[in-house]
Amino acid sequence: MISDSHLAHRGKPNRCNLDLRSGESQTERMAHIYIRFDFGTDEEKAQQARHKLDGWKQAFRLDKRLLYKLDRLENAPAEAPAKPDAEEKGGAAAKSKGKTAEKPKGKAAGKASETAAEKPAVNGKVGLLVRLYFSSHEKLSEQRWLTRIPSEEPFKSASPKIVHQDDKEFDATDKQFESLG
């Protein structure tokens, strides 16, 4: 025979029986992995890699799972995030102006202004720091991206270094990623 108190617990969970206090989060913090690339002074390869990552993010809907930041070692950290945005806007403005004129000349002018805007930014070494941020049930996807990214062409020649959470340089890499803005 079932008692009335037992039936009352079937419909509504008893708050006393929960294993977590009300203030604790029920979700685990997702583990993340960094991949560090060193492009040396080759700004063009770093930009190719950035464009490839943007394409993957859009095509595979990896919005917050795949984040990256360019690290220009000679430049001040505050200037590094601002310069690519200004260059992209300048390149987009040149392209939009070029569309009013003849198309072949506009495209050539747009590309010339983009490369001219990127060339002065080269003062030293360029690095790329990629953060993969997958949840625990996406381990297979995480492993596929860990093998795919370093094996593709613009990344292959940039001496990829994978930094897991267990590694001793993980904390320094994490702080560096956050400081890049």
Render pLDDT for 87-128 as a digit per residue (tens, 0 to 9): 444 444 444 444 444 444 444 444 443 443 444 444 589 999
User: How far is the C-alpha of 98 from the C-alpha of 107, rounded, in Å?
Assistant: 6
What is the pTM for the complete model shown? Answer: 0.60
Return the residue matching tokens 């108190």.
5
* Helix boundaries (H) for 60-152: 79-100, 103-118, 139-151
Return the residue matching tokens 């993957």.
56
pLDDT at 19: 62
> What CATH number matches the domain at 29-74+126-181, 3.40.50.300, 3.40.50.1970, 3.40.50.10320, 3.30.70.920?
3.30.70.920
pLDDT surpasses 50 at 38: yes
Domain ranges of the chain: 29-74+126-181, 76-122
